[in-house]
Structure 1
Amino acid sequence: MDKIGRNDPCPCGSGKKYKRCCLDQNANPVGFTSDDRRLALEKLDRFVETELGAQDDEAWESFFEIWADQLEELNDEETQISEDFYDAWFLWDCALADGGRVVDRFLEIGPLLSLGERQYLTLMRETTVRLYEVVDLSPGESVTLVELPSGARTRVREKSASRSLCRGALLAARIIGRGASGQPEIEFGLLSIPELVRDQVLSQVSKQHENYRREYPEATDLELLKAAAPVLHDVWISALLDPPIPRLQNTDGEDLLATRVRFEVADPAQVQAAFDAARGLEREEEGKPVWLWSGGNLKGKPVILGRLVLEEDALELECNSAERAERGRTMIETLAAGVVRHRSTVYQNVVMDIRERLRSRRRESTAADSGGRPALPGEAVPREAQEALTLDAQARHYREWLDLPIPALNDRTPREAAKDPALRPKLAKLIRRLEGAYQGCLQADKPAYDPSWMWGELGLEDRSRPMHPPLLAHERMASLVPGLGELCRTVAENARRQPGFKDASSILTRADIRRNLDIQRFLRHREADQHNQASAPGEQVIPSLEPHIYLMTNLELHRRKTFWVDESLAYMLAKTELDLPGDELRAPFPCFALVFSDRYTLSLAERLLARDRQCPIAGYYLKAATIYVIEERLESGRGLGVVFALDTLGADPPH
């Protein structure tokens, strides 16, 4: 983790400078361990049970009051998330009758605590739930968050959520500035807020802050945020039990409402003649008594306004809004005056139907893992062709999108918004959401369009880009496997001292690696360690090291010759087709590495990995691609081996 400057924003997310927030706490040599945390919470729970049972019950009823009759609809995981959120709120945020909080009373009159237990409780006392947007992830290791609306940036250690979240996701979380790992950590889980209610939740929290500030003008920012925590839980649980649906409108701006208007018909022949002669009515199919009613919408574009079906002595008009149905009824009663009589008008709420289907789908809660996208019945177009067509269409669309007025940008185009300081943050959020959609498509093994080029095109700062060059695959392996780097350096130096070694051509073969006693001894020790790690929960088990040793040793043998490929050169190489006879190809060194960190190359690799559902880093953003080129001795002559090492810089080793 990078060192935090005194004047940098505090990583706890408070919005204060580090020196005025957690610096003194972090300077304290007394930290806490996972055991300290567990024991502190056990003691705190017993204290609540024996001393504050009535207050706990009262707070529970108030917290879940409006959802009491629906809580059983939550599945086990959702129930656990909800209960954990409540527990944290009651312990750290809820104001008791005397104005104090549970943790304060516990620290004052509770049992004796170790230094570590007290340190944990003291740090947690200063936490609360805040809204964050995900800007970057290192799978299995960390999540980089931006607090809303302050913009304070925080990188938290988080193993599980970093594998399930996507860029642009909105979440509510409680972050402790210094967890058991010594880094910021998420405490008591997190709430994932649906994109559809993003603006709503920001507005609700803002109003809650205003109301609380009016009622308690002397309240601190921390107290204000603690009071707003239940609002965030209500938004989250509402999205589960009462799924949000976007406002659905037709092209006239009218709310969608499936409407059927029924009439009695006294003279079907006269009605048919009237409809056939009417302007704006046209038979759907020759010879059948079905007419399409067309006209212009608010923008003057021709649209289908309704459908009329005549069956003997009954006529039915179908429209997608109440307003169109009313206009259609007037038209029919004018065209067929005297021979039709209105019987009924029936409405079907489309939004309610969609919401009920979503709720039913949750109740069924099927979580079968398909293991990739199955082929559709009759699917004749090859996958590669489908992906190429889809990505080409999306590329054209988003190139045009940059110059189209966007409602979310106050009807300004993205190019115009990029030049407006007030709109730039909104534009950045839109791009992050597109990046989240891209990652979601990768994880679902669907054609995925990478929008990251928009940052540079619009002159915006991409805050997910690393501030410094990433570690290369061999450097990462050396950091993940203790002793591996030193082993490879030692083997390489010994090989260089052997008679007949030539800088221009000598290479250690795979057979040389298998015969080397130091390497085999190291591998045997590692195998024993891996066996022990496999039984330890949460431990990362690294697959066979021999291929890595082969590459790393030869790279050391030739002094780690490494070339960083410029972004423009990488793009040119991707668009150039080279077809050279093998004997004309010359490598500058027997072993060297090429490093690609541009998004064009990494996106190609991400889409390739997405097809392999067994790959541990499939569906995640890559940070670096290290390409190793090594000359190999073949019976028929020489050959070039090319190995791609792709890395998310997360907990998983390069793939």
Structure 2
Amino acid sequence: MRNDISDLLNFVGRHEVWRDRLQDVVAEHLMPALEEFDLEDEELSELLGEPWPGVLWGCGFEDFLGRRYDDENIIDLYLKRRGWKEAALNRDYFAALRDTPVSLYEVSEVKSGTSMVLRDLLGGAEPVTVLEQSATRSLKQWDRIAVRVVAERDNHVISGALLAFSPDAVELLFDGLRGALKLRKRDALRLTTDQLHACAPIFTSAWLFTALPRAMFPPQPTFCNSDGEEVMFHDLRFPLAAGVTQKDVAACLNRVKALIPEKRHFWNWLAPRRTRPHTQAEGVMLDSQLEGRTVLGSLELKGKSLLVTVNSIERAAKVEALVKEAAGERLKPPLTTIRTVEQMMAEERPERTLEGADEIPPQIARQITHDYLDKHYRETLDAPLPALGGKSPRQAVRSAAGRAKVLDWLKLIENRSAQNGDALISEYDFGWMWDELGLQEHRR
């Protein structure tokens, strides 16, 4: 088997000098992070779980296979003394692995259980199709991975040590490489084969320096709205004053420009159209868009009350003032109920269980979801986005710098969608957006 390294490992283990060298290289990969977080080797298993300790050791091992000590290399020595025991395919693979550096690749065109296309983000090589079964079952479009891509006769395969890089790990890696190579921030990162070989431990360190804090201190999800306010659902119930009808209140509300009727006795409270985007808020943003404007809340006349729902304490105060100004004494002071995101989720869970997803045929649920996403993203193409410097995607693609930002933005939202646990979302096809923005040729 090509990936059977047992004889090679036994060979290294029988030679104390080479065994010590291997341990030293593995330590180069692991020790910076272990010392920074005051951890022992064995604690990696407890924190990260399987298979990561083995994968991390493999990163050091593969680096060791390409190193030379006084012009001696372990692969050369092994093939010279024991190569006759190996199949020709295995000998070729070991030799290729010796000469192939680790690099950072962008994943595209994933065919689960079969293949994927990898684009080298550091070495500048042309994209290659890699034959791979296991990794393609978990990797998604536009993932970033650190791995060795090994040429094997007419095909390409990947080595055993693969690390999936999050956006913050990529940023840390790039900073580390620039520091090691004494490059400026604006300098392009194009590394030679020798430079990639020499920088191999930086890849492992960058991954560990982002993975370990998440494992040691799991982040608690935070929720905000598009104004950066903490999400706290407020339900305000304004009782109608004696003798006041729904028609009286509706007439008042219909005169408010920010209140857009959706149906009889129901209004969406919309924010003004923005000329500038808000600063990107931290946390998961909970807001929806309607006609390119943020929905700040909803109002509905039911029975003898006006029911108002918003998602922050700030918006609750604003909508109360808005309603009082519009309806005056036709409404009594509101009774307010406040709920957290966790409470809302807990309340909705039993309903979902009782209603059951089976009540909606899968193909209908898929169509509804994808129609909604179509509408949402069509509006987004014309909306100013912080990630694009306040320009809409359609505006940004008109310049070379803007086009690069749009490409990064498209890859980010497509990758996040692919990672979503809900199949209705993860299966959504973003191809039409690339077409509409004239970027289809970059989608590989």
Instruction: Please give the TM-score of this superposition, normalised by the length of structure 2.
Output: 0.58
Give the distance between the partners of 1:207 and 1:130, measured in 2 at CA. Answer: 15
Give the distance between the partners of 1:443 and 1:431, measured in 2 at CA. Answer: 20
Q: Given residue 114 of structure 1, which amino acid in structure 2 is its aligned partner?
A: G
The offset of 1:136, in angstroms, is 0.7
Aligned to 1:208: 176
* Alpha-carbon spacing, 1:133–1:246, altered in 2? closer, same or farther (3 Å): farther
The offset of 1:438, in angstroms, is 5.0
The offset of 1:227, in angstroms, is 4.5
Query: Which one of the candidate residues 105, 117, 120 is aligned to 1:132?
Result: 105
8 A contact 2:102–2:197 mirrored in 1: no
* Alpha-carbon spacing, 1:205–1:77, altered in 2? closer, same or farther (3 Å): closer
CA displacement 1:582-625 (0-9 Å, x = unmatched): xxxxxxxxxxxxxxxxxxxxxxxxxxxxxxxxxxxxxxxxxxxx
8 A contact 1:137–1:144 mirrored in 2: yes
* Alpha-carbon spacing, 1:447–1:421, altered in 2? closer, same or farther (3 Å): closer
CA displacement 1:533-553 (0-9 Å, x = unmatched): xxxxxxxxxxxxxxxxxxxxx
2:100 partner SS: coil
8 A contact 1:402–1:413 mirrored in 2: yes
8 A contact 1:205–1:228 mirrored in 2: yes
- 1:153 maps to 2:130: no
* Alpha-carbon spacing, 1:120–1:441, altered in 2? closer, same or farther (3 Å): closer
8 A contact 1:167–1:433 mirrored in 2: no
Give the distance between the partners of 2:221 and 2:198, measured in 1 at CA. Answer: 30
Superposed, 1:77-116 pairs within 5 Å as 77-92=51-66, 100=69, 104=73, 107=76, 112-114=81-83, 116=88
CA displacement 1:247-295 (0-9 Å, x = unmatched): 86665547x699xxxxxxxxxxxxxxxxxxxxxxx98788xxxxxxxxx
The offset of 1:415, in angstroms, is 1.1
* Alpha-carbon spacing, 1:186–1:443, altered in 2? closer, same or farther (3 Å): farther
The offset of 1:402, in angstroms, is 0.8
The offset of 1:127, in angstroms, is 1.9
1:172 partner SS: strand
- 1:189 maps to 2:187: no
Gaps of 5+ in 2: 184-190, 240-270, 279-293, 298-310, 315-339, 343-350
Give the distance between the partners of 2:418 and 2:434, measured in 1 at CA. Answer: 17
The offset of 1:154, in angstroms, is 1.9
Larger Cα Rg: Structure 1 or Structure 2? 1
Superposed, 1:220-239 pairs within 5 Å as 220-235=194-209, 237-238=211-212, 239=214
Superposed, 1:436-455 pairs within 5 Å as 436-440=415-419, 444=423, 448-455=427-434
The offset of 1:460, in angstroms, is 1.1
Quote the RMSD (CA, aligned, Å): 4.6
* Alpha-carbon spacing, 1:387–1:147, altered in 2? closer, same or farther (3 Å): same
Q: Given residue 378 of structure 1, which amino acid in structure 2 is its aligned partner?
A: E
8 A contact 1:91–1:102 mirrored in 2: no
2:51 partner SS: helix
The offset of 1:385, in angstroms, is 4.5
Give the distance between the partners of 2:60 and 2:21, measured in 1 at CA. Answer: 13
Give the distance between the partners of 2:210 and 2:164, measured in 1 at CA. Answer: 7
8 A contact 1:73–1:241 mirrored in 2: yes
Give the distance between the partners of 2:82 and 2:149, measured in 1 at CA. Answer: 23
Aligned to 2:94: 121
1:423 partner SS: helix
Q: Given residue 105 of structure 2, which amino acid in structure 1 is its aligned partner?
A: Y
- 1:456 maps to 2:430: no
* Alpha-carbon spacing, 1:73–1:170, altered in 2? closer, same or farther (3 Å): same
Superposed, 1:469-618 pairs within 5 Å as none
Give the distance between the partners of 1:442 and 1:219, measured in 2 at CA. Answer: 38
Aligned to 1:73: 47
* Alpha-carbon spacing, 1:51–1:402, altered in 2? closer, same or farther (3 Å): same
Give the distance between the partners of 1:257 and 1:79, measured in 2 at CA. Answer: 38
Give the distance between the partners of 1:452 and 1:143, measured in 2 at CA. Answer: 17
Give the distance between the partners of 1:234 and 1:378, measured in 2 at CA. Answer: 43
Q: Given residue 170 of structure 1, which amino acid in structure 2 is its aligned partner?
A: R
* Alpha-carbon spacing, 1:211–1:135, altered in 2? closer, same or farther (3 Å): same
8 A contact 1:387–1:447 mirrored in 2: no
Aligned to 2:394: 415
8 A contact 1:209–1:224 mirrored in 2: no
Q: Given residue 76 of structure 2, which amino acid in structure 1 is its aligned partner?
A: L
Give the distance between the partners of 1:447 and 1:135, measured in 2 at CA. Answer: 15
Q: Given residue 42 of structure 1, which amino acid in structure 2 is its aligned partner?
A: L
Give the distance between the partners of 2:55 and 2:380, measured in 1 at CA. Answer: 39
Give the distance between the partners of 1:250 and 1:209, measured in 2 at CA. Answer: 36
1:140 partner SS: coil
Give the distance between the partners of 1:43 and 1:139, measured in 2 at CA. Answer: 34
1:114 partner SS: helix
* Alpha-carbon spacing, 1:404–1:201, altered in 2? closer, same or farther (3 Å): same
* Alpha-carbon spacing, 1:55–1:40, altered in 2? closer, same or farther (3 Å): same
Give the distance between the partners of 2:426 and 2:109, measured in 1 at CA. Answer: 21
The offset of 1:113, in angstroms, is 3.6
1:135 partner SS: strand
Identity %: 22
Q: Given residue 16 of structure 2, which amino acid in structure 1 is its aligned partner?
A: T
* Alpha-carbon spacing, 1:161–1:218, altered in 2? closer, same or farther (3 Å): closer
8 A contact 1:191–1:236 mirrored in 2: no
Give the distance between the partners of 2:26 and 2:433, measured in 1 at CA. Answer: 47
Aligned to 2:408: 429
Aligned to 2:378: 399
Gaps of 5+ in 1: 1-32, 94-98, 259-281, 287-295, 305-318, 325-349, 354-373, 466-655
Q: Given residue 377 of structure 1, which amino acid in structure 2 is its aligned partner?
A: L
* Alpha-carbon spacing, 1:437–1:103, altered in 2? closer, same or farther (3 Å): farther
